[in-house]
Structure 1
Amino acid sequence: MSKDLVFYTNPQSRGGIVHWMLEELGVPYKIEYLEYGSSMKSPEYLAINPMGKVPAIRHGDVVITETAAICAYLADVFPEAGLKPEGDALGPYYRWLFFVAGPFEAAVGLRACNVNLNAEQEMQLGCGRLERVTDVLADAVGGRQYIAGERFSAADVYVGAHIGWGMLFGTLEKRPEFVEYWRELQNRPANRRSEELAEKAMSKQA
């Protein structure tokens, strides 16, 4: 039996990554747009995500928060979409999906807050300096069309979106490896559809 799939988001949030993922799945879903500081902090939504943040999804009675977790969950429960690799590609799939969700995002966030880690802080936090995680990520995507194996996967949605947004907003260097990796991903029809829907939502909010 199919379950209703509800997507909670704001068009100016990380929800854009989940929106792209949902469009790649090609399954029906409902969008609930929330506003910062109002409906996002309402008792109704806090019952779904006590952090009062987006994105989140509700799939039947199951609630999932955290963007990388949502992408991994959707790839798992909709296997017909082929967004979760098999065999030897499964290791790199999980590795890079959560590398970007963990060390990379932490390092980018710290630098955005003007925090430059010393050697002792690097050990305590575990994420490493932005320069180091950038080198590692560039190495991972360099010369590759997809981050895990020979097929597009949910990890490419997550990793690709962070690389694309990072270069757009200046939080990530426009290295040749990143530019080449993002070139084809950004033009995937599902990504373009999600961007168009987000633009329409923003125009209605304006």
Structure 2
Amino acid sequence: MAITQSKDCDLVFYTNPMSRGRIVRWMLEEVGAEYRQVLLAYDTDMKAQDYLALNPMGKVPALVHRGRVVTESAAICAYLADAFPDAGLAPPLADRAAYYRWLFFAAGPLEAAVMDRVLQVSVDKDQEKMVGYGTYDLTVNTLVHAVSQGDYLAGDRFTAADVYVGSHVMWGMEYGSLPVRPEFEAYVARLAKRPAMAAAKAIDDGLMPDSQVS
């Protein structure tokens, strides 16, 4: 895939290499479409009025495709899979149950459980019924189940759900927000063979300060 500086490119990617934009970068490399990247700094560019007009949250990533704005990493991954069907990153409509299930499990319960854990937010027994993830351990065990049902989340076929969920698993184990489980390690080992993942990582690592590159 080529990163272009052309203003006429119909796919524009707003990101920062130290953000969830890394997920979308991987997805962009998987679909193989030409895109223009716009690098934004925290607290300045992301809070500028022209960017807030695209994403009032003032966060990245964001994608603009032919004038249409898409935010939220899971939504962008799903959108790109549909916008570029030749890449084969979404199952046929009749076979999308597991694909949707795990994509949104990671965007909802998993992200909430992990973030509460990182921020040391405690949930008591009565509150477990209120939060979507129930408990952190329940969420982790459910994720273990998800990655153990086949080579990939939607069976034997790699999809956009693996880009999104796999990114969470990789980062979680690397930074300690998820435990190192053999099921996670086996899943990540399969994902690490994706040329697009290696290409995306190389691009984002090259944009980071030297001291921040892992």
What whole-Å deviation, never above 9, does each CA across 1:11-33 have from its counterpart, x for those lacking one?
Answer: 00000000000000001001100
Greater shift, 102-111 or 83-92, is seen at: 83-92
1:71 maps to amino acid: C
2:69 maps to amino acid: V
The reply to whether residue 159 of structure 1 matches residue 161 of structure 2 is no
Residue deviations 1:76-126, cap 9 Å, x none? 111111000125531000000000100000000111111121122121222
Is the Cα–Cα contact under 8 Å of residues 14 and 54 in structure 1 kept in the other structure? yes
Question: Is 1:66 the equivalent of 2:100?
Answer: no
- In the alignment, structure 1 residue 85 sits paired with structure 2 residue 91: yes
- Structure number having the greater helix percentage: 1
State the TM-score, normalizing by the size of structure 2.
0.91
Please give the per-residue CA displacement for 1:165-205, whole angstroms capped at 9, x wherever unaligned: 10000100110110001102023110111111111111489
What's 1:23 paired with? 29
- 8 Å CA contact 1:144, 1:181 repeated in 2: no
Please list every run of 5 or more consecutive structure 1 residues that lacks an aligned counterpart in the other structure: none
Q: What is the aligned counterpart of 1:201 among 195, 207, 210? A: 207
Q: TM-score, normalised by structure 1?
A: 0.95
Instruction: Count matched residues.
Output: 205
Runs of 4+ displaced beyond 6 Å? none
- Which residue of 2 is the match for residue 118 of structure 1? 124
Q: Secondary structure at the match of 2:208?
A: helix
Q: Report if aligned partners of 1:89, 1:149 keep a CA contact under 8 Å in 2.
A: no
Q: Match for residue 35 of structure 1?
A: 41
1:149 CA displacement = 2.2
- The separation in 2 between residues aligned to 1:109 and 1:205, in whole angstroms, is 25
Cα distance between partner residues in 1 of 2:24 and 2:192: 14
Q: Give the Cα separation in 1 of the matches to 2:61 and 2:93.
A: 30
- Alignment RMSD, CA only? 1.7
Query: Is the contact between residue 143 and residue 177 of structure 1 (CA under 8 Å) also seen in structure 2?
Result: no
Maintained 8 Å contact 2:9/2:36: no
Find out whether 1:49 has 2:61 as its counterpart.
no
Structure 1 residue 176 corresponds to structure 2 residue 178: no
- In structure 1, what is the Cα distance between the partners aligned to 2:201 and 2:13? 15
Q: Is this contact kept in 1: 2:151–2:187, CA < 8 A?
A: yes
The Cα shift of 1:143 comes to 5.1
Matching residue's letter, 1:121 = Q
Matches within 5 A, 1:140-159: 140-142=146-148, 144-159=150-165
The secondary structure found in structure 2 opposite 1:155 is helix
TM superposition shift of 1:65: 0.4
CA deviations on 1:47-96 (whole Å, 9 max, x unpaired) are 11000000000001100000000000111111111000125531000000
Identity %: 51
